[in-house]
Amino acid sequence: MANIVLRLPQACTIADALILGAQQCLLAHVDSDQTNANGHALVDAKIDAQVLLCAVLDCNRAYLHTWSDKTLSDTQSAKYQQFIQQRSSGKPVAYILGYQEFYGREFLVSSATLIPRPETEQLVDVIIDKIADLSEIAKTGESPESANVDVITARLLDLGTGTGAIAISAALECPSIRVQAVDFVPAAVALAKQNAQRLIPNHAERVTILQSDWFTQVSGTFDIIVSNPPYVEPDSEYLVQGDVRFEPDTALTAADNGLADIKLIVEQAPGYLDKGGWLLIEHGYQQADRIQQLFTAKGFSQVATLCDYAQHPRVTLGQKIT
């Protein structure tokens, strides 16, 4: 990748900074994937430049357009140039800034974790729906299998929590639930705890975050188990494209064509689910059929796969009935 240093002109306006920054950010999108050398790459580069300049100016995007003729200070120009240089080398915007928005909140991120992605927000949507269903069942007693579900003490387990984005978002959206979140990587556990402390006032009472190799340190049973585990094949071309080049391989790849960790989770999850509980797993868009087979073979009912916002098969779920 070419090492071209961005030099902003003297008395550079916001409008000029955005144009020059987008041109430089384009390197991160085109050089990493030549098939992306199109209009989508340019749109992404413009967004990168806007997000980075907003961070420098501590403003929102509307400010950039309203005050496009405003001149940057020398300090602002220097910081923006530093950010753009990092992005042009391919470093993800989230790692440059140290945070990423997820479900309307800013989560701290680091190179020890995956960057939370918009498609993973669907898992939180499904959790909210299932908690609502379980709560209604608890009130009406419609299902004998789930009659023990208490709206006050519904329990969620998040396996491979990373930044804690799924677990913390679910806890905030469903204030009645109690959450246990685990990760094998100590740095990820520390980061998730930091995010919980920042975002949940009474986090210690509602969210427990532990270091664990999947279920090894997990105790108790749960109404919902959720995971966004490693599911990329180790030899996938996807691993040399875009932001994933900078993300931890252990959080991305799994043996057995990307299915090793998912197989373990599906195999062991029933022992940690209450009757009527649900298992939710995010996966690759080409893995849905195989994962549905794993769920069915393990005795889950109502097995289904949901598509993400791009209409790619993304989340498979099933209910424990025995």
Q: How confident is the model at residue 27 (pLDDT cuts 50, 70, 90)?
A: confident
Residue 64 has which token pair? 């950039």
HSE-up of residue 144 (Cα within 13 Å, Cβ side) = 1
Taking only the tens place, the pLDDT of each residue in 254-265 is 999 999 999 999
Reported as type and span, the H/E element at residue 225 is strand 222-227
Of 149, 188, 154, 146, whose CA–CA distance to 171 is shortest? 154
pLDDT at 144: 45
Taking only the tens place, the pLDDT of each residue in 151-205 is 457 999 999 999 999 999 999 999 989 999 999 999 999 999 999 999 998 888 8
Of 73, 46, 71, 76, whose CA–CA distance to 61 is shortest? 46
pLDDT at 5: 66
Q: CB neighbours of 135 closer than 8 A, spacing ≥ 6?
A: 149, 151, 154, 176
Identity at 96, one-letter amino acid code = I
Through-space distance between the first and last CA atoms of the chain, rounded to whole angstroms? 56
Distance (Å) of CA 235 to CA 89, 247, 253, 254, 257:
23, 15, 9, 10, 9
Kind of pairing, strands 178-183 and 99-102?
Answer: unpaired
Q: Is the pLDDT of residue 222 over 80?
A: yes
Is the CB of residue 280 less than 8 Å from the CB of residue 291? no
Reported as type and span, the H/E element at residue 82 is helix 74-88
Fold of 14-91: Helicase, Ruva Protein; domain 3 (1.10.8)
Of 27, 12, 1, whose CA–CA distance to 80 is shortest? 12
Boundaries of every domain in the chain: 14-91, 118-319
Taking only the tens place, the pLDDT of each residue in 195-221 is 999 999 888 889 999 999 999 999 999
pLDDT at 20: 95
Q: How far apart are CA 179 and CA 172, in angstroms?
A: 10
Taking only the tens place, the pLDDT of each residue in 126-160 is 999 999 988 776 666 555 454 444 445 799 999 99
Of 100, 99, 74, 59, whose CA–CA distance to 11 is shortest? 74
Q: Beta strands of 13-145 (E only): which ranges? A: 99-102, 105-108
* pLDDT > 70: percent of the chain: 90
- For tokens 């020059």, the residue is 20
pTM for this model (two decimals) = 0.90
Poorest-pLDDT segment among 109-118, 209-218, 235-244? 235-244
CATH class of 118-319: alpha beta
Of 130, 195, 207, 208, whose CA–CA distance to 162 is shortest? 195
Q: CB neighbours of 60 closer than 8 A, spacing ≥ 6?
A: 54
